[in-house]
Structure 1
Amino acid sequence: MKNLFAALCALLLPFLVSAQVSLSGKVTDASTGEALPGTTIVVSTTDFTSAILVDKTGEYKLDYIKAGTYTVHVSYVGYTAIDKTIKLTGATVLNFKLGKSTFIADEVTVSATRASKNAATTFTNLNKADLAKNNFGQDLPYLLNQTPSVVVTSDGGTGIGYTGIRIRGSDGTRTNVTLNGIPLNDAEDQGAYFVDLPDLVSSVDNIQIQRGVGTSTNGAGAFGASINMQSTTRRDSAYAQLDNSFGSFSTLKNTVSVGTGLINGKFTFDGRISRIQSDGYIDRAASHLKSYFLSGAYYGKNTLIRANVFSGYEQTYQAWDGVPEYTLYGGNRTYNELGLEADGKTFYPNQTDNYTQNYAQLLVDQKITSDLSFSGALFYTKGFGYYEEYKPDEALADYGISSTNPSVTNSPLVRDLWLNTDFYGATYAFNYKPQQALNITLGGAYNEYLGAHYGNVEWVEQGASVPPNYEYYRNNAKKTDFNIFGKIDYNVNNFTFFADMQYRHLGYSFLGLDQNLNDTQQKISLDFFNPKLGVTYQLNEASNIYFSASEANHEPNRSDFVNSTPNTRPSSENLKDLELGYRLHNSFFTGGINGFYMLYKNQLVLTGALNYVGEAIRVNVPDSYRAGIEFDGKFKITNQLNWMATAALSRNKIKNFTASYINYDNNKTVSGTLSNTDIAYSPSFVGSSELGWQPVKGGEIALISKYVGMQYLDNTSNTNPAGFPAADPAQSNRSVNSYFINNLRLSYNFKTRAIKNIGVSFLVYNIFSTKYETNGATYPDIENGKVVNYNYYFPQAPRNYFVSVNLGF
């Protein structure tokens, strides 16, 4: 053992000898000489990067780094950044004096809805480089897959087309998504449909993911997480970027990005156009996606004005019903029965979803005094499109169609279900910072949504003829949303106290059911108060501990309302969230660990079933909770070897859940109350790992792993009510099996005299060709005295490949 220890010390000695270099100093205001705590200093070489936060005295220190030449980048909001190249051969002292910036920083645009570095909020930040290294054309949720408590799903099995994301088991309708502080969630359905904005990440500068209630933001309240994105920010030099990827299942991605840099010290213009297409892994799950992004900005001494205009178009074959369990375990993992014609052999060729979403944003940041600033935005979103589907046997009377043949009451037909929306409004925030220890923000938003829902019959096979674009139903919805919030941060010694109070009012008019189950227009009005309190204690310049207590309220979505009467209307949800965490940031490790307890009242939980357009069906449960521990960290093992890992262990329970099944033996409903069951789609463990090795300058080999524990498809924990046995014990589970997949990414970046950067990347996804499913749905009933499970799953692709070639000019 002594010999082994000595040998180990001998192996480590070269690293220890070469790591006796340190860098330290102080950052001050060039005019006043005052310290600038919170300044970010990034020290980097081609194979090493470390970010340092300046402490409350304005001092910083980086120990145990290898001797060599480093680039040092020093930045602080409101000041001009400094870049300096320095050769380190021993202990070095380097002081920085920052001058006031002649520009307002782009970060001001999103600061009102972001958690600061030491906030009492659980969050993860991703920068442009973090996102770009995995951007092979998959949807945004897949680029967030290595962050804590995240589970992603893909209808087509490849991450292209319709995808989903759950954070801490909460689905997309509970995740507040904003771009530049402007809500992206659909006002009625409340989900964020990333497929409508393909390749958005190529125009995103950074993302902050807040888990739990988080800070006050605009749009629907966060009931599991917030995803706050900031789009393109200022680049001082002109550039052009060509990004091309291709891979398995005829996948192709082409992106062209250009920018003028800073013109006359005041103006910038940026643009991007993208195309993504893929056949998908599942049968008839192809995607044809297009998007563009245009941005122009004016930078003045006290004013920043930015206009963004962007759009996305998607055409996807429908795969939202999943693959039937009997075919999945029979060996056919790609079977998609949507669009199956009456003969049971052929498929309708135009079973597609078609949608266009256009966006316009005008962002204004104004420095009013040295202590007071304003950020505001006007926005307008126009969405329109339809999905077309073949229905093999429909009652003509349901469509208001008179049959020309009295003996024909049913017929195959083709229908288009349309959605035409207008969403517009304004956001604002005033920030007052009279002293370094005090920061006050007053913000809010008002928006209106108009949604026209209507359906056309395009073709009827027999018994009737219809005119072109025959409209058989229409209903219009209107939703208004107003909120105002105030935030305050106050520093006392090593403590930072945080308070955040939000009032939200919304009104919604929609077509629902009356007492006799007839369609009738309904109106609701809701008022919510969402308070948040927290405290952070700075243990030293590298670490802190925080605690927060928050409350949030959340309204039901369109489907919850439309399928109910005023007497059966679902209740709004209430969440009380406690967060306790520890964060550490030094040259060896960056990350932290946190615990959470989320107590729900009237949570709307997924039953496991989907409605006729693939939307999840939900019901209120009086008492439920989520409790767990999360870890998120990046280890610098050597200068060439890094390891990023996350882990989330949780318990997700419903105190009492009433399960109801239709008994087809007597056409009656059988109900039973189950105690202490697991919440659907909430795995008890989720973990990820990324081991990256840089063997040469500009090159990296990364092994990326993901584990997701077993998930139930409904809230019964596979228990049948009233003691009914399963019809087939071999298929008695209503769950998605746990899975562990591994990906391998190879990348190499270099430059020539003519090209600033040439990047070549190769991704092998699911290298061991693991058979797994990420999502599913269940429709159990009772037949012949036994429970029959009709389960559907979303299988994911076996081993597949992507190659990317990126050219930067």
Structure 2
Amino acid sequence: MKKLLAILVFASMTVIGFGQGSIKGIVLDQETGDGLIGATVVLKGTSLGTTTDFDGSFEIAPVSDGTYTVVISFTGYETIEKEATVSGRPVDLGSVSMGFASVGLEEINVVASVAIDRRTPVAVSTLKGAEIEAKVGNQEYPEILKTTPSVYVTKTGGGFGDSRINVRGFDQRNTAVMINGIPVNDMENGWVYWSNWAGLSDVTSTMQVQRGLGASKLAVASVGGSVNIVTNAAEFRKGVKLSLSTGNDGYQKYGVMLSSGLGEKGFAATAQFTHTRGDGYVDRTSFRAYSYFLSLSKTFNPQHTLSLTALGAPQWHHQRTVSTFDKITLATYQEKGIRYNHVAGTLNGKEFTWRKNFFHKPKVFLNHYWTMSEKTNLKTSAYVSFGRGGGTGPRGRLRTPGSVFDSYSGDGVGIHDENGEVRFDDIVAYNQGQIIDGWGDAKEKYNGQYVVSSNGKIDGTNAGSGFIRRASMNYHNWYGVLSTLTSELTDNLTLVAGLDGRYYKGEHFRRLEN
């Protein structure tokens, strides 16, 4: 009897074993042929599912016998459904290619001169939106590139948005940065200020680094390379997405995305808003940032599509800057810790610093895509940007009767208290004519007056005594148009012609900020 029971149990287990199978495959980008990392794969109507691996491969196991609908989805791509029948053995769906799920996104890639790996003869590294979202966390946007070959990233002083990128040893003045093919580098000095694009990681479809002279059609300084950032376009699918993330040092981020989906008349709209705040890793480098993104698209017919995209990120953040004048050395940080900020303190009980950056640089793009024939098309992008903001710093000195500047000379020395923080409350009192211990009797001579200009004189002999916080203001109006005509003349010969026109007007001045 025991032997019979054992045989029955074994037979039952054998039947169950043969009734289990699996479903596997690999998900690829239709345009590049690269594997899509992090795509979601689920069996419709069940709780079974997984995400794709680093090469785009996936496997769902165990799966009971039956016929299933496999649903494959990925941010920015069309959702794909495939039928699979399991009968006790693995089912291989093979390669599944996914195309763009956003109106006009493929055309934006053309305008942005996005290179295709193994097809474009330049060295490239490409990150997709889902990979960026997974990597960025509470890092700054450029930091996700720090593992990219030939790319060096530093946070410089450690303030929010103050990161810098070097490509092949060249700084950002020789590295072209573009959003949807539109240049971002400052028209006057070539720098890129990443704090102006705080919310860009939330709306990025693709980010690509081309090392060396690459595929860009722009007249820009790109001997080091170029960074192409392609934003999302209006989504085909209708929906609402809410997000919340937290991190160290008070980091908080809130976001919402709304999409109308593609309507019957060819209209689609997507809007996204985020708010980011935190205390900063470096002492007294708090920040507040907002970002917005709006994309409207209208497909009139198979030949003509028009899209409007607007994005911006108003922000302010406290900074830490170090120069030879500041007298800060490695020994200073060894003694006081790497987070020490010699330009910060409190004013009326609230965080205050000599160095504060504030800026808003919105960009608006109007794109027209015209398919003239099967072999000829014209992509045109007109854009405008209005930048407003600046950065603050100290101006002045104490005459006691010698000169005491804002540089750090030690705890309890000059304008720094025993903890190494700037004595902003005492500076205000001194400017108002009060006598401050350790700062001499200069107020009796200068009567609380402060003269910013080196030409300013009191009693015809000396400049004033005291400090202010000045703001160096930078305003600009920037207009441009970028148009590319592509015509396939033969199977081996393609004509590419274009226009890159820009107009820029900048204003620079200083104002008394505090």
- Calculate the TM-score normalised by the size of structure 2: 0.69
Counterpart secondary structure, 1:330: helix
1:64 positional shift: 11
Question: Which of 471, 474, 480 in structure 2 is aligned with 1:416?
Answer: 471
Which residue number in structure 2 is paired with residue 237 of structure 1? Answer: 237
Q: Match for residue 149 of structure 1?
A: 150
TM-aligned CA deviation for residue 92 of structure 1: 6.3
The superposition leaves residues 104-135 of structure 1 with CA deviations (integer Å, 9 ceiling, x where unpaired) of: 75212222512123221111111111011133
Equivalent residues in 2 for 1:656-695, closer than 5 Å: none
Map Cα deviations across residues 363-422 of structure 1 (whole Å, 9 max, x no partner). 111111111111111111111112222224299887265334334324333222111111
Q: Could you say if the C-alpha distance between residues 197 and 216 of structure 1 is closer, same or farther in structure 2, counting changes exceeding 3 Å?
A: closer
Query: What's 2:110 paired with?
Result: 111
Q: Does structure 1 conserve the Cα–Cα contact (< 8 Å) formed by 2:23 and 2:59?
A: yes
Name the structure 2 match of 1:386. 390
Could you tell me which residue of structure 2 aligns to residue 357 of structure 1? Answer: 361
CA RMSD, 1 decimal: 4.1
Deviation string for 1:239-292 (max 9, x for gaps)? 211111222211111111111111225111111111111211222222121121
Aligned to 2:84: 86
Matched, 1:334 2:331: no
Alignment map for 1:393-542 (pairs within 5 Å):
393=397, 399=453, 402-414=456-468, 415-434=470-489, 437-457=492-512
Change (3 A) 1:81 1:327: closer
Distance change (3 Å), C-alpha of 1:82 and 1:437: farther
Q: Is 1:125–1:206's contact at 8 Å kept on the other side of the alignment?
A: yes
Displacement after TM superposition at 1:425 (Å):
0.6
Per the alignment, do residues 241 and 445 of structure 1 end up closer, same or farther by CA in structure 2, a change over 3 Å counting? same
Judging changes above 3 Å, is the alpha-carbon distance between structure 1 residues 348 and 405 closer, same or farther for their aligned structure 2 residues?
A: farther
Contact in 2 for aligned 1:211/1:226 (Cα 8 Å): yes
AA partner of residue 456 (structure 2): S
Q: Deviations over 1:659-695 (max 9, x none)?
A: xxxxxxxxxxxxxxxxxxxxxxxxxxxxxxxxxxxxx
Q: Which amino acid aligns with 1:413?
A: F
1:257 aligns with 2:279: no
Q: How does 1:659-738 map to 2 (within 5 A)?
A: none
Indicate the residue corresponding to 2:13 in structure 1.
none
The alpha carbon displacement at 1:180 in A equals 0.9
Q: Is the 8 A contact 1:41 1:73 kept in 2?
A: no
- Structure 2 gap ranges (5+): 1-19, 42-48, 404-449
CA shift in 2, pair 1:137/1:302, >3 Å = farther
Matches of 1:327 and 1:103, distance apart in 2: 52
Instruction: Select between 315-324 and 398-407 the one with higher mean Cα deviation.
Output: 398-407
2:319 corresponds to 1:318: yes
Cα distance, 1:52–1:316 mapped onto 2, change above 3 Å: closer
Aligned-partner Cα distance in 2 for 1:81–1:136: 26
* 1:716-757 superposed Cα distances (whole Å, 9 cap, x missing partner): xxxxxxxxxxxxxxxxxxxxxxxxxxxxxxxxxxxxxxxxxx
Identity %: 20
Q: Deviations over 1:291-345 (max 9, x none)?
A: 211111112322221111222212111212275323112243222223689xxxx
Q: Count residues with an aligned counterpart.
A: 414
In structure 2, the CA distance between the partners of 1:335 and 1:105, relative to structure 1 (3 Å rule), is closer
**Counterpart pick for 2:52 among 49, 55, 61:** 49
* Partners of 2:345 and 2:353 within 8 A in 1: no
Q: Distance in 2 between matches of 1:143 and 1:101?
A: 23
Contact 1:384–1:419, Cα closer than 8 Å, also in 2: yes
Corresponding position of 1:486: none
**Partner secondary structure for residue 142 of structure 1:** helix
1:48 Cα deviation from its structure 2 partner:
5.2
Residues 48 and 101 of structure 1, relative CA distance in 2, 3 Å threshold: closer
Q: Are the counterparts in 1 of residues 454 and 463 from structure 2 also a CA contact under 8 Å?
A: no
SS state at 2:229 partner:
strand
Q: In 2, Cα distance between the equivalents of 1:391 and 1:350?
A: 9
Farther off after superposition, 388-397 or 436-445: 388-397
The amino acid of 1:353's aligned partner reads N
Distance verdict in 2 for CA 1:285–1:156, change over 3 Å: farther
Between the aligned partners of 1:253 and 1:200, the Cα distance in structure 2 is 13
Structure 2 CA distance, aligned partners of 1:409 and 1:152? 43
Alpha-carbon displacement from aligned partner over 1:414-458 (angstroms, at most 9, x marks no partner): 222111111111001112235655544222411122111111245
Distance of 2:242 and 2:22 partners within structure 1: 42
Q: Is the 8 A contact 1:103 1:299 kept in 2?
A: no
CA distance in 1, matches of 2:51, 2:340: 47
Asked which structure has the greater CA Rg, the reply is: 2
> Kindly tell me: are residues 170 and 103 of structure 1, through their superposed partners in 2, closer, same or farther at Cα, counting changes over 3 Å?
closer
Residue number in structure 1 paired with 2:16: none
2:319 touches 2:355 (CA, 8 Å); kept in 1? yes
CA distance in 1, matches of 2:341, 2:31: 57
CA contact (8 A) 2:486 2:497 kept: yes
Secondary structure at the counterpart of residue 337 of structure 1: coil
CA contact (8 A) 2:283 2:341 kept: yes
Change beyond 3 A, Cα 1:447–1:19: farther
2:137 matched to which residue of 1? Answer: 136
Contact 1:124–1:210 at 8 Å: present in 2 too?
yes
Partner of residue 587, structure 1: none
Distance 1:126 1:37 in 2: 14
Superposed, which structure 2 residues align to 1:620-635 within 5 Å? none
Distance in structure 2 (CA, Å) of the matches to 1:282 and 1:94: 50
Write the mapping of 1:580-659 to structure 2, written as runs, cut at 5 A. none
The CA distance in 2 between the partners of 1:336 and 1:95, in whole Å, is 54
Report the AA paired with residue 328 of structure 1. Answer: Y
Q: Does the CA-based 8 Å contact 2:142-2:163 persist in structure 1?
A: yes
Shift of 1:66: 8.2
Partners of 1:167 and 1:314 in 2: CA distance: 26
**Contact 2:210–2:226 (Cα < 8 Å) also in 1:** yes
Q: Secondary structure at the match of 1:160?
A: coil
**AA matched with 2:496:** T
CA contact (8 A) 1:21 1:65 kept: yes
CA deviations 1:76-112 (Å, max 9, x no partner) are xxxx9964243474686889999x9999752122225
**Contact 1:104–1:367 (CA<8 Å) still a contact in 2?**
no
CA distance in 1, matches of 2:505, 2:22: 64
- The one-letter code matched in structure 1 to 2:240 is A
Deviation at 1:194, TM superposition (A): 1.5
- What is aligned with 2:436? none
Q: Distance between the aligned counterparts of 1:143 and 1:172, measured in 2? A: 16
Q: Would the alpha carbon gap of residues 442 and 351 (structure 1) be closer, same or farther in structure 2, given more than 3 Å must change?
A: same
Q: Which has more helix, going by share of residues? A: 2
Mind listing any 5+ residue stretches in structure 1 that lack a counterpart? 1-17, 25-35, 54-61, 460-809
Letter in 2 for 1:111: V
83-92 or 442-451: which moved more? 83-92
Partner residue, 2:418: none
What is the TM-score of this pair, normalised by structure 1? Answer: 0.45
Write the distance in 1 (CA, Å) between the matches of 2:221 and 2:466: 42
* Alpha-carbon distance in 2 for matches of 1:130, 1:74: 14
Partner of 1:715 in structure 2? none
Tell me the equivalent position of 1:779: none
Greater Cα shift, 323-332 or 399-408: 399-408
Contact 2:212 2:222 in 1 (8 A): yes
Counterpart position of 2:200: 200
Distance 1:313 1:63 in 2: 41
Query: Given residue 286 of structure 1, which amino acid in structure 2 is its aligned partner?
Result: S
Match of 1:269 in 2: 269
The amino acid across from 2:500 in the alignment is A
| CA distance in 1 between partners of 2:32 and 2:355 (Å) | 54
Paired AA for residue 161 in structure 1 = G
User: Which residue type is aligned with residue 335 of structure 1?
Assistant: Y
Cα 1:309–1:146 shift into 2, 3 Å: same
Q: Deviations over 1:539-594 (max 9, x none)?
A: xxxxxxxxxxxxxxxxxxxxxxxxxxxxxxxxxxxxxxxxxxxxxxxxxxxxxxxx
